Amino acid sequence: MRNTPLFIRLAIFSTVLTISLLVSQDLNAQSTSKARYNSATKVLSLDEGAPFGYQYHLDISAMGFASKEKADLFFSGLTTELVSFQINFEKKDAAVLLNILSKPDWKAQEWNTYLATLPKL
Same domain, 100 and 54: yes
The predicted model scores a pTM of 0.73
pLDDT tens, position by position, for the chain (121 residues)? 566 677 676 667 556 545 654 454 455 444 569 999 999 999 999 999 999 999 999 999 999 999 999 999 999 999 999 999 999 999 999 999 999 999 999 999 999 999 999 998 7
Q: Which contacts of 41-48 are long-range, i.e. CB under 8 A and separated by 24 or more positions?
A: 41/120, 42/120, 42/121, 43/115, 43/116, 43/118, 43/120, 44/78, 44/96, 44/115, 44/118, 45/112, 45/115, 45/116, 46/96, 46/108, 46/111, 46/112, 46/115, 47/108, 48/108, 48/109, 48/112
Same domain, 26 and 69: no
Residue 72: inside a domain, yes or no? yes
Domain that residue 59 falls in? 33-115
